[in-house]
Structure 1
Amino acid sequence: MEYPVLTAAVVLLAASVAVLTLFERLGLPVLLGYLIVGISLGPSGIAWVPHTEDLHFLAEFGVVLLLFTIGLDFSITHLWTLKKQVFGLGGAQVVVTAALVAGAAWASGLPPANAFVVGGALALSSTAVVTRELSRRGELKQRHGRLSVAVLIFQDLAVVPFLILMPALNGDTTGDGAWDLLLTLLTGTVVVALMLAAGRWLIRPLFSRIVEIESRELFTLSALLFSLAAAWLTANAGLSLALGAFLAGALLSETEYKERLTAEIRPFRDVLLGLFFVVIGMMLDLQALWGQIHWVLGAVLLLILLKTATTTLLGRLLGVPRGTAMRTGILLSQAGEFGLVLATLGATEGVISTETEQLIMATIIISLALTPMLVRWAEPVSKRICLGRT
């Protein structure tokens, strides 16, 4: 009997242990190590491990658990106070960036539908990478950290209309797109409201009873169940897995158990999140990348500059201090994992060509690899340019 997913996981974990040992000794970003493992062992490398839907879905649990622990640092009350940043800055950042990138793609000769997919895919930043790096550096609770998370929350919500509009770009003009979007948003609103009610009246008292039993295994299983069940609910409502996990963590953030929850979830989170970045590396086609490397590198540079400038200017217009706005712009200047989803779906629906898909994916993956350095440089660069104003 063969177990392809188990075999793939064992091979990838073994390679990750070897590569990360070397990277830790050399002081290199571990994210880059995970990506190299995926590229080397994946279809475009020595092809020891195929990129399958089952493996990709397993890896997404790392993002779910990451967002659950991030949510533990944000209370629902505090999230409400960030509504201006979430819907104001977040909404403006997605719309303006997507429009600018799509306009540039259209001006370069791509058809409007292709340009729309490129704009949507590259406008979104990486929730997984940014929050992971901020958490590693202890910056999540600082002003730029909270502002970055607020924008990322809206970006997760913005994935929904992009996904719904995709079939219409391929000539599906049945007129149901607006109704589907409205129905999804209404369903999502109801699910989120039910989650908030359940968190207040059911989940918190339930965790109190679980703690009284004094069973570590029961506590850990309950935490995993709650985070995954919340992700399942929002995913079935047409929203993202990550959003549900984040809300689940936020619901428990005001309890006295959040530190213990973080400690129990962290081992599962770190392993699965590493697998997620390995799978991202497996999606890159090296042959296609080499043929258009000059376009890819140019696109990465322009993307980082454009997103930094856009987020900085929009933040200033909304009253964010200059240094904080620029630091947030640098943090969010890469593309993200949901951009890979949009690019893949666009190619599947026939909206974009395989060449365009690979160009988008290569741009996203390289920008993801640069993110640890962007996070490290964000503070000194913003202080130098803004003369220390934060």
Structure 2
Amino acid sequence: MEEAHAIPHLRETLLFLALAGVLVPLLQRRRISSVLGFLAVGILVGPFGLGRLAGDVPVLGWLVFPNLEAVSVLAEIGVMFLMFMIGLELSAERLWAMRRWVFAGGGAQVVVSAAAIGLIAAAFGNALPAALVIGLALSFSSTAVVMQLLSSRRELGTPIGQAGFSILLLQDLAVVPVLILVGLLGQPGDTSVAASMAIAIGKSVAAIVLIYLLGRIVIRPAFRHMAASRQADTFMALTLLSTLGIASLTWLAGLSMALGALLAGLLLAETEYRHEVEITIDPFRGLLMGLFFMSVGLSIDPLEILRAPALLLGSVAGLFVLKAIIVAAVGRIGGLSRGKAVEMGLLLGQGGEFAFIVFGAALSLGLLPEQTGRFMLLVVGLSMFATPLVAELGRRLGAGFERRPEPEPENATPVLPDLRGHVVIAGYGRVGQLLGQLLDSQGIRYVAIDPDTRLVAGFHAKGRPVFVGDASRGEMLRRLGLDEASAIVLTMDHTAAALRAVQSIRREWASLPILARARDEGHARALREAGADTVIPETLESALQLAALALARAGLPGTALSGLLEREREQRIASFHGAQDR
């Protein structure tokens, strides 16, 4: 019997994977938010849902999560990978360009929200330390929920996405000082709060700078070495090590692990391996984020709602309204239109995952009565559960306020998926480089990928839009904006790789023009059969060039020579194109 339980939390892991395997496809078919679905399932299979019946119906014991312990660690890792993916979408330059939103906008939101909520808590009879803790904890929004919604709606690069992320980033930075303050409030004596917080903030800033500098020195060479081996497993191992390693360093420095994961993403965002890393980590991120949202659902007790439904639901609604007003005001001052400000306000109106940490610390120190602490945790959980619905309401209200489309800010840095009408080049050898130069000379934007890490590193350092990647991977091509590209040109030397790429591209992009280079006419016919629109055999061009030189030496006039070569080229290409079309 002991051997059957050798793997900790095996039953809970199998249950989650089974739920995820059934739930996600079902939600996608019904066009329901996966965030809302995982939260609802968490309530259903949690200790306060079907778990209450497990004692009377033993079979339910295999279908429920008896407590949060089994999922809490993996859920936290899920949040870390979400922050890591967010960091990959940014860069140090782009983050610096957002500094006004981060420090002015985010700082104003936290201070004003904490003061307003704290005053309301004091008015309800809470002691001053308790009211201060409640105000600070509820001033945080949910980075996990909001960023998941923005990512699924592809709005990270929009004005709302940039402003919302900036505010959330400041909140993440503020967690450490808030936890220090809670600890000091729970200590007797005349401890200097200001001095302790100043020292803690100084250590935090020093730790972030040190980690960032070390990462720039170590991470890029490490990825270049691993990528050169072309082993997917070692590349994945290094990605996981970078994320968890830097997150652990920030935790040792007293900062949140989520902030460390964001730093890891920022460091890799400036390398040519960004898109390959995104594809490597994306499946894990989705599963672990689902586990996080399910863990939030596990903490919600439906019976507690029934005990005081008016007070509880009124508190959740009041939290949304108050924070939405404050966030919207910050947005308007920052330059957002009324509609965008309202939409952002409701999007950030919920409580956040860091509130669980702050309230947990306050309860352990006796700053909050047990009943008040449980009530506040329930308010936070319900507000996170309601966020997808409230965010959709905010979207519609914002659209109603808008009188004309919102212009993009001039300093917004475009990301690759926002490209329109560009050309994607698969293979950046001699032919790909020449093609890129010709496109550049005509002002036509392009993005190129190549599996050769050394070649890519050299051109990436020169500012060329070249990335490490495999052209047969649809996820990679989608991140290069193939949905909006005018064409893709395959110039790689490897015949089998070119064939795989054409087959993969044609499966997902039925109408996209595919132009391909072939080694010979046999290879050209195979590429045409796979779905390429136009194929140029390099042997044909070599033969035509040699023929042109020979005929010119023999005295054939230039006009006749040009016409002959063009007719021969067209006939040769049409011969295997036509054979396939028939």
Contact 1:124-1:335 within 8 A present in 2 as well: yes
Going from structure 1 to structure 2, the CA distance change for 1:287 and 1:129 (only over 3 Å counts) comes to: same
Q: 1:7 aligns with which of 3, 11, 16?
A: 11
TM-score for the superposition, normalised by structure 2: 0.64
- Is residue 222 of structure 1 aligned with residue 226 of structure 2? no
Q: Secondary structure at the match of 1:333?
A: coil
Contact 2:339-2:400 within 8 A present in 1 as well: no
TM-score for the superposition, normalised by structure 1: 0.94
**1:85: which partner in 2?**
101
AA in 1 matched with 2:270: E
Q: 1:306 aligns with which of 305, 319, 322?
A: 322
Alpha-carbon deviation of 1:337? 0.7
Contact 1:51-1:279 within 8 A present in 2 as well: no
Mean Cα displacement is larger for which, 29-38 or 300-309?
Answer: 29-38
**2:479: which partner in 1?**
none
Contact 1:227-1:249 within 8 A present in 2 as well: yes
Going from structure 1 to structure 2, the CA distance change for 1:39 and 1:381 (only over 3 Å counts) comes to: same
**1:117: which partner in 2?**
133
Q: Secondary structure at the match of 2:66?
A: coil
Alpha-carbon deviation of 1:235? 1.3
- Is residue 68 of structure 1 aligned with residue 72 of structure 2? no
Q: 2:37 aligns with which of 22, 33, 39?
A: 33
Alpha-carbon deviation of 1:81? 1.2
- Measured in 2, the distance between the counterparts of 1:118 and 1:255 equals 42
Q: 1:338 aligns with which of 324, 338, 354?
A: 354
- Measured in 1, the distance between the counterparts of 2:308 and 2:25 equals 32
Q: Deviations over 1:281-327 (max 9, x none)?
A: 11223333321221111111111111111111122223344333333
Q: Secondary structure at the match of 2:271?
A: coil
Going from structure 1 to structure 2, the CA distance change for 1:89 and 1:172 (only over 3 Å counts) comes to: same
Alpha-carbon deviation of 1:172? 2.9
AA in 2 matched with 1:46: L
- Measured in 2, the distance between the counterparts of 1:133 and 1:267 equals 17
Going from structure 1 to structure 2, the CA distance change for 1:116 and 1:389 (only over 3 Å counts) comes to: farther
- Measured in 1, the distance between the counterparts of 2:392 and 2:322 equals 19
- Measured in 2, the distance between the counterparts of 1:19 and 1:200 equals 40
Q: Secondary structure at the match of 1:160?
A: helix
- Measured in 1, the distance between the counterparts of 2:274 and 2:397 equals 34
- Measured in 2, the distance between the counterparts of 1:146 and 1:109 equals 38
- Is residue 44 of structure 1 aligned with residue 48 of structure 2? yes
**2:27: which partner in 1?**
23
Contact 1:16-1:37 within 8 A present in 2 as well: no
Mean Cα displacement is larger for which, 152-161 or 188-197?
Answer: 188-197
**2:530: which partner in 1?**
none
AA in 2 matched with 1:215: Q
Alpha-carbon deviation of 1:372? 1.9
AA in 2 matched with 1:142: T
Q: Secondary structure at the match of 2:50?
A: coil
Going from structure 1 to structure 2, the CA distance change for 1:135 and 1:164 (only over 3 Å counts) comes to: same
Alpha-carbon deviation of 1:20? 4.0
AA in 1 matched with 2:73: F
Q: Deviations over 1:339-376 (max 9, x none)?
A: 12212222222111222122212221222122223333
- Measured in 2, the distance between the counterparts of 1:173 and 1:5 equals 43
CA RMSD of aligned residues (A): 2.0
- Measured in 2, the distance between the counterparts of 1:169 and 1:128 equals 28
AA in 2 matched with 1:33: G
Q: How does 1:293-332 map to 2 (within 5 A)?
A: 293-332=309-348
Q: Deviations over 1:110-129 (max 9, x none)?
A: 22222222212211011011
**2:179: which partner in 1?**
163
Q: Deviations over 1:1-51 (max 9, x none)?
A: 323422222223323434445434433222222122222222212334232
- Is residue 289 of structure 1 aligned with residue 290 of structure 2? no
Q: Secondary structure at the match of 1:309?
A: helix
Going from structure 1 to structure 2, the CA distance change for 1:21 and 1:354 (only over 3 Å counts) comes to: farther
Q: How does 1:104-183 map to 2 (within 5 A)?
A: 104-175=120-191, 177-183=193-199
AA in 1 matched with 2:186: N
- Measured in 2, the distance between the counterparts of 1:205 and 1:242 equals 24
Q: Secondary structure at the match of 1:351?
A: coil
Higher relative contact order (CA 8 A, sep 6+): 1
- Higher fraction of strand: 2
AA in 2 matched with 1:70: I
- Measured in 2, the distance between the counterparts of 1:325 and 1:44 equals 37
AA in 2 matched with 1:10: L
Contact 1:288-1:358 within 8 A present in 2 as well: no
- Measured in 1, the distance between the counterparts of 2:103 and 2:372 equals 30
- Measured in 2, the distance between the counterparts of 1:21 and 1:245 equals 28
AA in 2 matched with 1:309: I
AA in 2 matched with 1:140: L
Q: Deviations over 1:37-93 (max 9, x none)?
A: 222222212334232446312210000001101110110111111111001000000
AA in 2 matched with 1:99: A
Contact 2:68-2:299 within 8 A present in 1 as well: no
- Is residue 231 of structure 1 aligned with residue 235 of structure 2? no
- Measured in 2, the distance between the counterparts of 1:220 and 1:360 equals 40
Q: Unaligned stretches of 5+ in structure 1?
A: none
How many corresponding residue pairs? 390
Mean Cα displacement is larger for which, 162-171 or 224-233?
Answer: 162-171
- Measured in 2, the distance between the counterparts of 1:291 and 1:171 equals 34
Q: Secondary structure at the match of 1:110?
A: coil
**2:214: which partner in 1?**
198
- Measured in 2, the distance between the counterparts of 1:167 and 1:54 equals 27
- Measured in 1, the distance between the counterparts of 2:21 and 2:66 equals 19
**1:242: which partner in 2?**
258
AA in 2 matched with 1:359: F
